[in-house]
Structure 1
Amino acid sequence: MEKGLIRTLNDNNIPTRQMVSILSYLRGGLTALPMKKKDISNYRTKLNIELKGSDMTKVLKYFRKRQSEDASFFYKLDLDDDKRLVFKNTRHRNCLFHIKTKCYNKNGKVFAANNGLYEDFEDIVNNSLTVEEFERMWQKMIEDNKLQRNKYLTKMWEMRHSIMSFLKEYDCIIETINRAEKLEDTYNNQKRPKEFIFGYRIE
C-alpha cells in the first residue's frame, strides 16, 4: 500500500516530510509506519530515476517519429563508451532555491536561535555584487553568530565560488525574464477585447 501511495504523492510533488505525516496518519501513528523517512526518500529517488529514464525514451521516440515523417528533420546524439547520452561542454549548476532551502532545513534551529541571522544570510546570498564582498560579509556573519563549526554553512563556504558564479548568471537570467514580463504586461495592458495583436478589429 505504502509504495503505491508514495508514487501517487511523488507524482504530485508532495515533500517527503508530508508523505511521512500522511502515511503515519493512515497507519494510526508514526510507530505503526513500516517505513522510515529515509526509506521513503530512497524510494522517491528510485521513482525519479525511473521517470528521468522514461523521459529520455519519450524524447528519442518523438525524434524517431519526426524523422520518419519529415525527411528534413535531423537529430544526432553523442553516446559515451557505455552507450549513455553525453552532454558535452556542460556544467552542473546547483539551484539557488534548493541551496537556500536545504540550508534552512538543516539549520532551522540555528536560524531561530540567532536573531537577524536569516536577514543577514538572505542579504549576503542575494545581494553580494562581488566574490570579495560575499566572502567578507559571510565571514562576518559566521563570526558574529559563532557558527564556525556549523557543517552546512562550512560546506556552503567551501563551494562559494560556484554559488557566486551562479548568482552572476542568475542575475542575467532574471534581468532577461523581467524584460520579457514587462513587454508582455505592456502588450496585455494595451490589448482590448476583440482586437488582434496587429490592431485589427473583429467586426
Structure 2
Amino acid sequence: MSDEEKCLIRVLKHTNLETRRIVAVLAYIRGGMAHLPYTKKHVTNYAATINRDIANSDMMEVVQMFNKKQTENPGVCYSFELDGENKVRSLFWTDMRSRMMCDICGDCISFDTTFLTNKYNLPFAPFVGVSPHGNTYLFACAFIINETKDMFAWLFEQFLMAMGGKHPISIITDQDKAMQGAIEQLFPNATHRSCLFHIKKKAEEKVGPCFQANEGLYEDFQDIVDNSLTVEEFETDWQEMIEKYQVHHIKYFSDMWENRKKFIPVYFKDKFFPFIQTTARSEGTNALFKKGVGAKFSATSFLREYDRILDVVHDREEECDHVSRNKKVARKSFWSKYSIERQAHEMYNLGIFKKFQFKMADTTRLHVFEQEKDKYYIVAQAENYPLKELRKRLYLLQVGLKEEEYSCICCTF
C-alpha cells in the first residue's frame, strides 16, 4: 500500500465512505481487483488506525472546526456543556444563515430527538421549522448527554442566546414530560402542542382490542378527532361517543380527554402552526442525517455531514427564491376565475400559492347549505355532487343572490 493510497484512504474516510467502496476506488485506480496487492482486510485495518486517531482527538478537532468556522464567518455560534472534569457532555451549534432564517420564520419550531447518529450514543436534537416556501428548514442542532428537564433547559437557553432572545410563538414536540417542563420554563408564552400522529398511534396500540370489539368506534374516534369544526362540537361528540360505546372504563380515553387541549386540532385553529400538525418534519430531518452517518461515526464526521446537508437545505431555498422571483403561473394554470385566486397569486410566493390553490380546489368536495339566514350553515362532503351545481350554490352564497335571480345573470362557472 503506497503512501498516496494511504492518504487517499484517509481522505475517503473523512467523507464517511464505506470500506467496501474505498476498496472499489483503490481497485479502479490499480486497474482492477486482480492488480490490487493487498486485501480488503488490510484496508479495514488501516481504516481502524485512522478511526483510533480520530477518537483520540475528536473533540479537539470539533473545537478547531468551530473556531475555523467562526474566523471565516463570525455568525457561527456554538457552545459546550461540561462535566466536573471539563469533559464535553453536550454540544450546541448553528450558523449565520440558519440564524437569519430563524429570525424570519422561526415563530413555529418542531423539536424531537433521535439516537444512533454517533459513536457516543448521544441523542441528536435538531431545531426544525418551516421556510417561507413551505420547506423544512434546519435552525440549529445539538448533541445532548440525556433527555432530562435540566438538559433540555440548558439546550433551550443556548438556542435563545444564539437567536438573539427570539422566542418561538408555537412549538410542537412528542409527549416527553421533561421536554414539556423545560418548554414551560424557557418558552412560557409559547403555545406547546403534542404530536397528533404519535398520540393516535399510541391509541391504536393501547385501545386496539376495544376498537375491534366495538364496530364503528374506531371510525367515530378518527372523525371526531380530525374533523370537529368547533370546540363545542368536539367535546359534545366525544362524550356522546363514550356513552354510545360504553367505554368509560378505558383509561387511555380518560387520559386523552384530560390532555385534549395539547393535541386535538380544533383547539389550535387560531394558533400559528403552518403546514404542521406532527413532528414529521423533525423525523424527516433525523432520517436524512441517518442516511449519511451512523452509530460508529465520530463527532467530526457528523459535522461534515451536517455541513453537506445544510448546504443542500440552503441551496434548495435559494432556488425557490429564484423561481418565485422569475416565474409566474400561466393564466391557463389558474383553477378558477375567482378574484381571490389572482390575489393569492400576487401576494404569495410560488410554493405557498400552489398550497393555497390545492386547498381552494379541495373546497369543491364540500356542499354548503344555509340553514339560517346569515347565521347557520351546513357543510357536507360532495364527492358525488355535480361540480357545476356546487359552484353555482357557492356563488349564490357568496354574492347573496336568490335561486331565481341566478338565471337572470350571465356568469361562467
Normalised to the residue count of structure 2, the TM-score between the two structures is 0.25
Larger radius of gyration: 2
Does 1 or 2 have the higher relative contact order (CA < 8 Å, sep 6+)?
Answer: 2
Q: Quick check: which one's strand share is greater?
A: 2
Q: TM-score normalized by structure 1?
A: 0.48
